[in-house]
């Protein structure tokens, strides 16, 4: 068993981190004194952008320098991951550092809190509150003025998309890459994810600035493709346990959308934006939340199996 006193066993560390994130994720006073790795990575990305992203350069040069900044960021993240893992394996009880790094790379509880507020506000038809709470979840897809143009049914669909994206990006993808490649893999994935999020928001404001970020977008898609498919599969099977959801629609729609998990969740709820919902949107979203919770239980079992298989050979 790896680690001092067996305490650095990866499955133990991940489950411990999941418990901490479930209890304290998104709690302001904790983030104030212990900044998230994502925030530190964002600061490095902004610094690289200011140093290397010259608007006067040709598209080819801009793409090359953007690729180099992405590779350099990943290298720094991997080195940090190896360093923390080495400390965790060889120093008594300093495995707690790795636990907190993993916990701060997850971002699931905070999104669940926001989604709960969105569902309540949508039921009360308080659309200003809906847009305010929903925007952080879909900021890479919508500008604030775009959300203002959405109808009630379109806001509900955006909520479903935010719910699925939060599950994939805040839970499944970080846990998957930690299970597969350990802390270096997790921090590399987080570096790419944070860079892609930064430039998606930049692209919404300035569509012409797209060459520098091409490498981030390509690698982000590579990192998320398998977790996205796994999340879609878990959403499909979760419909078995939830009344008034559709297994067949979830299965059929997951192949049609750009994001399989989003499409599968929308299919499971049988969302049809061309007609009003037969029930209020809060009930639809409550069912979606139950699907996500059951999928989360399945995910923990699959990730635990992956970690055990990784160290079995």
Tens-digit pLDDT string for the chain (313 aa): 444 455 567 888 888 888 888 877 655 545 555 567 778 888 888 888 888 887 667 778 888 888 899 999 999 999 999 999 888 877 777 888 888 889 888 888 877 788 888 888 877 778 888 888 888 777 767 777 778 888 777 787 888 888 888 899 889 999 999 988 989 999 999 999 999 888 887 776 665 567 788 899 999 999 999 999 999 999 999 999 988 888 988 998 888 777 889 889 988 888 766 555 555 677 778 888 899 989 988 988 888 887 777 766 6
The C-alpha angle with vertex 134 and arms to 149 and 128, in degrees rounded to 5, equals 55
Query: Of all residues in the chain, what percent are helix, strand and coil, respectively (each to 5)?
Result: 80, 0, 20
Residue appearing with tokens 């959405």:
150
What pLDDT was estimated at residue 159? 84
Q: What separation in angstroms does the CA of 256 have from each of 80, 167, 239, 266?
A: 39, 19, 18, 11
3-state secondary structure of 270: coil
What pLDDT was estimated at residue 138? 78
What pLDDT was estimated at residue 228? 93
Read off the tokens for 13: 């560390």
Residue appearing with tokens 């989360």:
296
What pLDDT was estimated at residue 17? 87
Q: Is 208 exposed, middle or buried (0-12, 13-18, 19+ CB in 10 A)?
A: exposed
Distance CA 73, CA 67 (A): 10
What pLDDT was estimated at residue 301? 86
What pLDDT was estimated at residue 1? 44
Find how far residue 122's CA is from the centre of its chain. Answer: 23
What pLDDT was estimated at residue 313? 61
DSSP state, residue 246: -
What pLDDT was estimated at residue 227? 93
Burial 170-181 (b: 16+ CB within 10 A, else e): bbbbbbbbbbeb
Distance CA 102, CA 13 (A): 8
């Amino acid at each position: 068993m790896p680690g001092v006193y067996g305490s650095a066993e990866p499955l133990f560390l991940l489950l411990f981190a999941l418990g901490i994130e479930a209890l304290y994720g998104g709690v302001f006073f904790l983030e104030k004194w212990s900044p998230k790795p994502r925030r530190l990575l964002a600061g490095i990305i902004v610094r690289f952008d200011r140093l290397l992203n010259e608007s006067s350069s040709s598209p080819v040069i801009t793409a090359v320098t953007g690729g180099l900044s992405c590779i350099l960021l990943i290298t720094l993240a991997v080195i940090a991951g190896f360093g923390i893992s080495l400390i965790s394996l060889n120093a008594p009880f300093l495995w707690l550092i790795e636990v907190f790094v993993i916990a701060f790379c997850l971002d699931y509880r905070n999104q669940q809190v926001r989604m709960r507020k969105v569902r309540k506000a949508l039921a009360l038809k308080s659309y200003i509150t809906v847009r305010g709470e929903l925007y952080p979840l879909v900021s890479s897809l919508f500008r604030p003025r775009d959300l203002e143009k959405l109808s009630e049914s379109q806001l509900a669909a955006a909520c479903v998309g935010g719910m699925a994206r939060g599950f994939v990006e805040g839970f499944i993808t970080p846990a998957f890459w930690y299970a597969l490649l350990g802390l270096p893999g997790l921090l590399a994935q987080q570096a790419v994810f944070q860079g892609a999020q930064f430039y998606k928001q930049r692209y919404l404001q300035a569509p012409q600035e797209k060459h520098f970020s091409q490498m981030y977008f390509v690698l982000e898609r590579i990192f998320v493709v398998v977790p996205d498919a796994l999340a879609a599969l878990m959403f499909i099977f979760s419909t078995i346990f939830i009344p008034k959801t559709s297994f067949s629609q979830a299965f059929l729609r997951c192949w049609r959308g750009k994001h399989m998990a989003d499409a599968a969740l929308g299919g499971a709820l049988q969302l049809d934006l061309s007609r009003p919902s037969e029930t209020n949107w809060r009930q639809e979203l409550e069912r979606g939340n139950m699907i996500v919770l059951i999928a989360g239980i399945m995910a923990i079992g699959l990730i635990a199996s992956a970690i055990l298989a990784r160290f079995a050979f």
